[in-house]
């Protein structure tokens, strides 16, 4: 059960204050009867809600794909920097969503944003072995020896040994390298620290896939869209 005003706010009808006025003016009906109190408890998945004669379709969760730009932090709030939530429209922000995992401030690419806690747990818990693939540009030549070390499990600067990771060399010369990196964890600055442990530096990092979900290349950096039904179901393992 949830408050009527919260449900309507989540549907983008208006703020709780605005909903209260609508209820007072007789514009809101629940199961065919005028709502008397904006704070009344309803089951949003069963109740028939009308506003101004229009029947509303309730949804509890939202699922968004963002092509995260550089300079923005993967958080719901920050005292100093703009967050990925700040980039959302009010109609999506009202659901109080959060980023699934995080991308470093200067890292770009695929970021899933949702208010579905169960999906969040499924995607970030190492026990589910969800692949996250990154395209990276490195300052030095990446060699077969690095591929072997990544596969065996790189030891980070704090002594933590990473799970086996896949490193694929796309191009490499004395000027640097382009690679794909696939990991199943999400330690702080992990990809950058993995390369640092083999004496190299990441100069550009972009996440291109998360589990079965691939970044929509039609999505400019800083833009986002709602996931399609089949994309959500794929993430849920259906």
**C-beta contacts of 188-193 below 8 A and 24+ residues apart:** 189/104, 190/156, 190/162, 191/134, 191/136, 192/104, 193/156, 193/157
- Say how many CA atoms lie within 13 Å of 53 toward its Cβ: 0
Q: Phi, psi (5° rounding) for residue 204?
A: -155, 135
Distance CA 215, CA 112 (A): 10
Of 133, 125, 236, 135, the C-alpha closest to 185 is: 125
Is 66 in a helix, a strand, or coil?
strand
Q: Phi, psi (5° rounding) for residue 168?
A: -115, 125
Which of 104, 116, 146, 157 is labelled catalytic? 104
Catalytic residue check, 131: no
Label residue 158 left, alpha or beta by phi (over 0 means left) and psi (-120 to 50 means alpha): alpha
Contact assessment for residue 137 and residue 176, using Cβ atoms and an 8 Å cutoff: yes
Beta 54-56 vs 132-138: how paired, if at all? Answer: unpaired
- Kindly list the catalytic residues: 104
């Amino acid at each position: 059960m949830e408050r009527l005003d919260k449900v309507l706010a989540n549907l983008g009808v208006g703020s709780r204050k605005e909903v209260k006025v609508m209820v007072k003016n007789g514009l809101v009906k629940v199961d065919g009867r005028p709502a008397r109190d904006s704070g009344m408890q309803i089951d949003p998945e069963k109740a028939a809600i009308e506003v101004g004669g229009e029947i509303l379709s309730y949804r509890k969760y939202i699922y968004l794909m963002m092509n995260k730009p550089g300079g923005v932090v993967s958080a719901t709030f920050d005292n100093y920097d703009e967050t990925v939530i700040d980039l959302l429209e009010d109609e999506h922000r009202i659901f109080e969503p959060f980023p699934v995992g995080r991308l470093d401030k200067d890292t770009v690419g695929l970021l899933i944003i949702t208010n579905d806690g169960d999906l969040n747990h499924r995607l970030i818990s190492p026990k589910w072995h969800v692949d996250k693939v990154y395209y990276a540009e490195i300052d030095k030549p990446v060699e077969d020896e690095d591929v072997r070390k990544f596969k065996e499990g790189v030891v980070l600067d704090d002594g933590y040994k990473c799970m086996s990771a896949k490193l694929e060399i796309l191009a490499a010369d004395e000027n640097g390298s382009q690679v794909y990196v696939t990991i199943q964890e999400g330690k702080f600055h992990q990809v950058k620290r993995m390369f640092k442990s083999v004496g190299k530096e990441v100069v550009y990092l972009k996440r291109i896939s998360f589990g079965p979900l691939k970044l929509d290349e039609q999505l400019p950096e800083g833009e986002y869209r709602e996931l399609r039904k089949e994309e959500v179901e794929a993430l849920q393992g259906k």
